[in-house]
Structure 1
């Protein structure tokens, strides 16, 4: 066989249809793919990992930890927040960031920590 396609059309319809019916809705797949894509950048992954082990951190601390400029870290935090992985809160003049449950679950799965709970 020279390529990755079957040379014969042979669908096990019952099995294939049951699997197709079990797939998540297109909207859910899009959200999940965006979350995975958000962790696909090495800097964002490092930021998320720092939040995973460090609980709640400000941009200044995160910039120091990951060795990147505060502006770049802020940019990546906005992307992680847009993807639904990070929550933030204002504490006086500081903005504190933390991974939410979805972020912890997804990052845990990425680093090989047993996953308990369900991704939204």
Structure 2
């Protein structure tokens, strides 16, 4: 017998059903998981932090800041944009990126969780 399972099947149906009904839809969960996965890469997390502090940056600046090539940063920015965390706009020959409100909220949540786990 495993320690992570009940020895007896007993469901508090009303409570369990109310919680089940309150869960987000499968589509909402999939979108949230995609967004969290987007910040699960060290380079993308560094880019998101740079955008969080720097507000609006081009690929050249981001590459310098995070210490990666422009091609690699562009690749990661596409993934962040695809996940709905980053917005971009063309400014002449430059493409400017910014963390959108969803990206800021998710990064704040991740950073807050990490700060709580760090030893004092």
TM-score by length of 1: 0.91
Task: Specify the alignment match of 1:109 in structure 2.
Answer: 109
TM-score by length of 2: 0.91
Q: Distance in 2 between matches of 1:5 and 1:41?
A: 33
* Aligned structure 1 segments of 4 or more residues deviating by more than 4 angstroms: none
Q: Distance in 2 between matches of 1:55 and 1:25?
A: 32
Q: Distance in 2 between matches of 1:77 and 1:102?
A: 15
Count matched residues: 113
SS in 2 for 1:3: coil
Q: Which runs of 5+ in 2 are unaligned?
A: 114-120
Task: Specify the alignment match of 1:26 in structure 2.
Answer: 26
**CA apart distance, 1:13:** 0.6
More helix by share: 2
Q: Distance in 1 between matches of 2:83 and 2:111?
A: 19
Q: Which runs of 5+ in 1 are unaligned?
A: 114-120
**CA apart distance, 1:6:** 1.1
